[in-house]
Structure 1
Amino acid sequence: MTLESLIIFILIGAVAGWLAGILVKGFGFGLIGNIVIGIVGAFLAGVILPQLGVSIGAGIVGAIIHATIGAVILLLIIRLVKRA
């Protein structure tokens, strides 16, 4: 993985985590938290979405949408666990 790939990976994670925080109200984790939520969300979506037959597309916009969907799922799971 090159330095450029790593920076793009982190930026996509940050944007996805920030968007997920906006969509799932009440969650704000700061820059590092958003990056972690976005990256974990992208991994989660990479596991779940192909099983459902969902294909978002390629490119940076597709990666951001993909990671945001996974991050929203992750935040909803965190919300359910906090209530229990």
Structure 2
Amino acid sequence: MSGFGIIAWILIGIVAGWLAEQIMGRNHGLLTNLIVGVVGALIGGFLYNTLLGGDAGGNWIIGIIVATVGAIILLFLLGLVKRRA
């Protein structure tokens, strides 16, 4: 997702974090949604590039979908770790 600037990353991160929070039934604040969304974008972007050979490259909808999927994966993994601790 190299076609996005820092402001776009922040906006996509907030939206993706919020969507992942809603899908996973969690309750976080705006800052946590941003962090989860941006880290999710990195995870989702890596998987999207590796598995599908694609690049969101400036497409907002694909960027939000990829970041949301990554954020869902992140929340799922964090839930597994938290449950074991």
Q: What residue is the counterpart of 1:36 in the other structure?
A: 35
Aligned length: 80
Q: What residue is the counterpart of 1:8 in the other structure?
A: 8
* Cα 1:54–1:22 shift into 2, 3 Å: farther
Structure 1 residue matching 2:27: 3-state secondary structure: coil
Q: What residue is the counterpart of 1:18 in the other structure?
A: 18
Q: What residue is the counterpart of 1:77 in the other structure?
A: 77
CA contact (8 A) 1:49 1:55 kept: yes
TM-score (norm 1): 0.84
Q: Tell me by how many angstroms 1:8 deviates.
A: 1.5
Identity fraction in percent: 41
CA contact (8 A) 1:37 1:71 kept: yes
